[in-house]
Amino acid sequence: MITFDEEATIQILRLDYDLNKIGVKLNQIAKKINTHDIYQFTSEDREVFKQVLQELKNCFSVLQKYADRIDHSRQNPFINERRDSSNS
């Protein structure tokens, strides 16, 4: 079983929120594209795509940080045991 500390839990909840916002933005752009026979991307659309890309990069960076921590703790199970015993 994988457990997360409070910081990790908060970051994961933020990622969930941020990824949802990204999905909403992409759906708005898709709706614009699908409602017109011919649609030209506007500078506003390009800016939204740049923001979405940056947000995705930020999310992946945070996810990688926690994935590395999970991988490290699996390689060294004594880390979790020490954490668990120090909380007692």
Q: DSSP 3-state assignment of 38?
A: coil
Contact present, 45 and 52 (Cβ < 8 Å) = no
Domains of the chain by residue range: 6-77
| DSSP alpha helix (H) spans, the chain | 6-35, 43-75, 78-86
Q: Which is higher by pLDDT, 79 or 37?
A: 37
Asked if pLDDT for residue 10 goes beyond 60, the answer is yes
The pTM (predicted TM-score) of the whole model is 0.56
List, for residues 39-87, the tens digit of each pLDDT value.
677 888 888 888 888 988 888 888 888 777 776 666 665 544 444 444 5
CA 57 – CA 52 distance, rounded (Å): 9
Q: Which residues of 3-31 are buried (b: 16+ CB within 10 A; e: fewer)?
A: eeeeebeebeeebeeeeeebeeeeeebee
